[in-house]
Amino acid sequence: MARAPAATTRRWKLPSLSSSSFALVFLGLPLAIYVIFVISPFVQAFYYSMTDWTGFSKKMNFVGLANYAALLQDPVFTKAVYNSIVLVVVLPPLVIILSLTLATLVTIGGATQGEIRGLKHAGIYRVISFFPYTVPAIVIGILWAQMYDPSSGLLNGILTAMGFDFFKSFAWLGDERTAMGASIFVIAWSMVGFYMVLFIAAIKGIPSEVYEAARVDGAGRFRTAISITVPMIRDNIRTAYVYLGILALDAFVYMQALNPSGGPANSTVVISQHLLNTAFKKGKFGYATSMGATLAIITLVFAALVFFIFWWTGRPPKSGAVTTTSPAPLVRAAPAPKAAAPLKPTAQLEHPVARKTIWTDQTVARISHVALIAWTIIICAPLLWVLMSSFKTTQQIFASPFTLPTSFNFDNYVSAWTTASIGTYFFNTVIVVGFSLVIVMLLGSMCAYYLARYEFKGSKIIYYLMLGGLTFPIFLAVVPLFQTLRGFGLLNTFPGLIITYVAFALPFTVFFLYAFFRTLPQEVAEAAEMDGAGPWRIFFTIMLPMAKPGMASVAIFNFLGLWNQFLLPIALNTNTANYVLSQGMASFASQAGYAVNFGALFAAVVITVLPVLVTYIIFQRQLQGSVQTGLLK
């Protein structure tokens, strides 16, 4: 994210009071919500983890480290830890390699005249690849569970049509040999597009003179990508690895949708799944909280290990040594350019420059297009199959999964909307997400503005406390949060869900709006203050309108995150009348296996995805632009 000029980052002194009410509302209110519903549950979790609390009684006995000792004897927990390690080892490299490869093809895979350029019309690849990132994880899991279905799934149908009869009724998620691999692919499918866009932005930020020198030195495309591009976007790769590792450790939603029971012989069970089952099905809340604490420790150790490895391998070389993080081995002094004009950054050129490879330009471009088209098909095929199947009967889905529907019959949509109560869940979601979004944007912007613009003791502590909320593993807080909401009488209610949504969305909102407010020119606000405007008026009539671009970007991401939320509702909202859409979809999918109304299930998937799709179509440029300008770094 671009740093503000020094003149714009000077912070004001705290205004005189009238300001007590200003500080109370702008800082005190959001901070109170954050502390009560986020910080406090995290702190309580470590105490609860050393008790025998059952969750349904206020009585509990202190048992010390007995719960942690019991974890070592728990075969399901040890299997879950093993599965989490597999996910951490496999998922981040897989996603990074795929997304970096696709990003490289987009940026340097085009036909050229002696210079490497990006592919023409590559925007369509970015748009399609990014879309799965916006779809609710529970919906992706349900969608792919049907793709993998041994009887009516698209995957087995394609393989059988290609002559592989062995896969005619193969259970991808029901076979211990393939269940984990199939699950990892689904998570990668949903994440590659986001990191592809992130890496495209990073590659375009590499100074063009580096590529010019490599071209003069005789480097080809592949060597340029490996020896220049990868080292120079090292920080982006490190950040991606950390976030993907945290996702791998917290893969609950995907695993729950794909294999609610944990897979054959617990081959896909993860710590978070075992935690929720232990707490809410077996009533062992204290024991379950020890799993959350263990998961938090594993997450911190993983992040520290990744940062250490990247720091160790990226240290400056000893005297006389050649660095591995610099393109120096490829680069020699380039001849002075003919024109006196300075070289522009890569993002301002059509694309990075390097010499032609042994292949013709047309061949390289064709290979790049073929690879990207293949990935686009992998993205689109499941989505189009679900859309077509939503207009078919169950019998038609089984008989001809590849054919277009004979007619656009909306009976499945009516059935899903009414009989399966998807309509009720939809409106519940609109209410919860609507109120949550308005409140978090208001409180988050006020808190971010106050921290960014006013100097006072403890401001940095509060800021870093908010920043910490982006890294806290939510599963550590789930069990204590259950008790907190029950204590306030908010359990299984819309207000309880709304205030929890707001509390957990505040760190993201404050963190990114804080940086945005610091870039705004304070001279405008100072002029208004000289004209007699108070702090309230300055914020609402001057600074907030100036922050519209940042507010819009954060609001879009908040909407997607809140709409897609699954963990908080299933833990804190067990009243079926108050189910939100993600809960309703999970419940409907679990029943569909018995009712066998696959057409209605696919219609429900379409209904759930539709608001996200509309939002993405309208704001896709802004979403991708936010990533490319560093909003999510």
Does a structural domain hold residue 619? no
d(CA 605, CA 413): 10
In a domain? residue 595:
no
104: domain CATH number is 1.10.3720.10
Look up tokens 């604490």; give the residue: 293
DSSP string over 470-508:
TTS-THHHHHHHHHHHHHTT-TTSHHHHHHHHHHHHHHH
Residue 132: inside a domain: yes
pLDDT at residue 361, as a whole number: 60
Shared-domain flag, residues 95 and 82 = yes
527-573 tens-digit pLDDT: 888 887 888 888 888 888 898 888 988 998 899 899 999 999 999 99
Question: What is the C-alpha to C-alpha distance for residues 157 and 441, in angstroms, rounded to an integer?
Answer: 46
Whether residues 371 and 429 share a domain: the answer is no
Confidence of residue 112 (pLDDT cuts 50, 70, 90): low
pLDDT at 360: 55
Which residue, among 202, 253, 255, 254, has the nearest Cα to 232 in the 3D structure? 202
Alpha-carbon span 165 to 169, nearest angstrom: 9
Among 563, 578, 593, residue at a domain's last position: 578
Cα Rg of the chain (Å, integer): 26
245 and 373 part of one domain? yes
Classify residue 488: in a domain, yes or no.
yes
Q: Over the stretch 334-381, which tens digit does the pLDDT of each residue have?
A: 444 444 344 444 444 444 444 444 445 677 778 888 999 999 999 999
At residue 290 the predicted structure's pLDDT band, cuts being 50, 70 and 90, is very high
| In-domain check, residue 509 | yes
Helices first, then strands: H and E counts in the chain:
30, 2
Q: What is the pTM of this model?
A: 0.84
Domain co-membership, 397 together with 512: no
Residue 245 CA: distances (Å) to CA of 224, 240, 284: 28, 8, 28
CA dist 257 and 263 (Å) reads 11
Per the structure, the count of domains in the chain is: 2
| Contact (CB, 8 A) for 516 and 547 | yes
Indicate if 352 and 444 belong to the same structural domain. Answer: no
Q: Give the span between the Cα atoms of 475 and 486, in whole angstroms.
A: 18
Residues 252/22, Cβ–Cβ less than 8 Å: no
Domain presence at residue 311: yes
In tens, the pLDDT along 394-411 reads: 888 877 777 888 888 899
* 416 in a structural domain: no
**Cβ contact 260:141 at 8 Å:** no
Show the domain range for 552. 7-48+422-578
pLDDT, position 593: 52
Count CB atoms within 10 A of the CB of residue 185.
17
- Among residues 163, 169, 131, 123, the alpha carbon closest in space to that of 150 is found at 169
Give the separation between CA 258 and CA 369, rounded to whole angstroms: 32
Identify the pLDDT of residue 326: 42
Q: Where on the phi/psi map is residue 100: left (φ > 0), alpha (ψ -120 to 50), or beta?
A: alpha
Output the six-digit token pair for 382: 């499941």
Q: What share of the chain is helix, strand, coil (3-state, %, to 5)?
A: 70, 0, 30
435: pLDDT strictly greater than 60: yes
User: Do 114 and 143 reside in the same domain of the chain?
Assistant: yes
Residues 221-280 pLDDT 10s: 777 778 888 888 988 898 899 889 999 998 999 999 999 989 999 999 999 999 999 998
